[in-house]
Amino acid sequence: MTYEQALEYLYTQLPMFSRIGVAAYKKDINNTIELCAALNNPQHKFKSIHIAGTNGKGSTSHMIAAIMQQQGFKTGLYTSPHIKDFGERIRINGEMINRQFVINFTEKTKNICSKIQPSFFELTVAMAFDYFAEQQVDIAIIETGLGGRLDSTNIISPILSIITNIGFDHTNLLGNTLEEIAFEKAGIIKKNIPVVIGQTNKETLPIFKEKAMEKNAPIFFAENLYEIEKIGNDNNALYCNSINKLTNQTEFQALDLQGDYQLKNLATVLTAVNILRTLEFDISEQNKINALSSVKKITGLRGRWDIVSKNPTIIYDVAHNKDGIESLLTQLNRDHKNQQLHFVIGFVNDKDLSNIISLFPLHAKYYFTNAHNQRALPHYELKKIAAEQNLSGESYDNINDALKNAKINANENDVIIVCGSFFILSEIEPF
């Protein structure tokens, strides 16, 4: 079996949420338990940090991984989905998983897969755990896929749990209210294990407090511990001050992740670092600062307010739900208020698009497109939905054609934004 054949098996033989949607979602963690039992329970052979949330969990995972790696710890990182390469999902010290390991793992699990028929996500979670155990990582940062309580990753016993925020996404699976979604995310809170909560509101705060009390888990609210003030930004960094509300100490930070939404994630990360220090992880201030200024270089994170070129400015962002799009548009309105905007957008077909599309500005120019998987909303359907909100533009079956036309129509002072789906970004050539 070659690496390409292994990926073909993973993508086509196993139900894959990114490809077929809800049909691939398993409402229990029994398959993952059985898979890992067959692998001699690798999830118990390394220390881990578990991260859930509607938005920001990927960025938060990468920032913490960068800090741990900068400090010299052998650091595993499991995130999803990938943009270009399957190996983005499973990294150690920023390096993607060894391809031979993927081949060997796929071959050795074929028999049990034929028996229990796991999903793509369930098998890749088990693969990550097996890889981290074999490579004897010092710490692994594990991002949930959907929710938390019934997520395949929720068989680990972490030293720290983190929930970034709660918003409306995957409501067909997680619930139609913030309380219901918070309950699912709070499922990662473990007995006696500290938990950091990034953002709360009146609906979610009682859910988190109740679950933490039930589990006797020390709970830390990042909003109460840190205030982050934006100073400014340029093409290289987002500059801010972090103010520790307990000590009144102020620290300057230069983040290479430039979306303003990273300011909220930063408060979560700084709170987590302080807790990790109490758990005998010696993390210096300088290594923390250096890591936060080089997250993309250290961990390979892409697609978060990713400025890929200038004149015109082109930004790639994986914002794909209401809260993510709102944050993106707020920053565009502030940083590029008087510039012509060109949106290259595509979405999957299980989003509440009427509420999302209504957020977009009328004065922008639009290029509607789609990825090429079963979940993708056809570009002509997106164009129709947008027209109902008085947004007009052309539609394209290929993201590269849409982006090409946006570049043709844009002046050097304009801004082109590509957003709506990980899968749209994945088909850009070259990325």
Residue spans of the domains in the chain: they are 3-299, 306-426
| Residues 403-422, mean pLDDT to the nearest whole number | 97
| Residues 382-387, mean pLDDT to the nearest whole number | 96
The pLDDT assigned to 94 comes to 97
Check pLDDT > 80 for residue 17. Answer: no
Q: What share of the chain is helix, strand, coil (3-state, %, to 5)?
A: 45, 20, 40
| Residues 328-344, mean pLDDT to the nearest whole number | 94
pLDDT one-digit tens code per residue, 67-86: 999 999 999 999 999 999 99
Closest CA to 222 of 62, 53, 66: 53
Report cis status (omega within 30 of 0) of the bond before 42: no
| Residues 336-359, mean pLDDT to the nearest whole number | 92
The neighbouring-strand residues paired with 160 are 49
The pLDDT assigned to 374 comes to 85
Closest CA to 376 of 405, 343, 346, 402: 346
Which of the two residues, 135 and 19, has the higher pLDDT score?
135
Judge whether 155 and 32 are in contact, CB under 8 Å.
yes
Mean pLDDT of all residues belonging to the chain: 93
Report cis status (omega within 30 of 0) of the bond before 206: no
Q: Which amino acid is at 37?
A: A
The pLDDT assigned to 24 comes to 45
CA distance 160 to 385: 42
Check pLDDT > 60 for residue 261. Answer: yes
| Residues 268-295, mean pLDDT to the nearest whole number | 97
The encoded tokens of residue 340 equal 């012509």
The pLDDT assigned to 373 comes to 87
pLDDT one-digit tens code per residue, 157-169: 999 999 999 886 6
Strands of 373-428 (E only): list them.
Answer: 393-395, 415-419
CA distance 65 to 44: 19
Check pLDDT > 60 for residue 260. Answer: yes
CA distance 249 to 127: 42
Judge whether 12 and 123 are in contact, CB under 8 Å.
no
CA–CA distances in Å: residue 72 to residues 68, 88, 93, 268: 7, 21, 9, 21
pLDDT one-digit tens code per residue, 27-61: 679 999 999 999 999 999 999 999 999 989 999 99
Residue 380 CB partners (closer than 8 Å, separation 6+): 368, 395
The encoded tokens of residue 374 equal 């079963």
pLDDT band at 18 (very low <50, low <70, confident <90, very high): very low
The pLDDT assigned to 168 comes to 67
The pLDDT assigned to 20 comes to 41
Q: Which CATH number fits domain 306-426: 3.40.1160.10, 2.60.260.20, 3.30.450.40, 3.90.190.20?
A: 3.90.190.20
CA–CA distances in Å: residue 155 to residues 29, 121, 231, 353: 8, 14, 41, 33
pLDDT one-digit tens code per residue, 282-325: 999 999 999 999 999 999 999 999 999 999 999 999 998 898 99
Class of domain 3-299 as given by CATH: alpha beta
pLDDT band at 171 (very low <50, low <70, confident <90, very high): low
Check pLDDT > 90 for residue 147. Answer: no
Closest CA to 148 of 223, 85, 211: 211
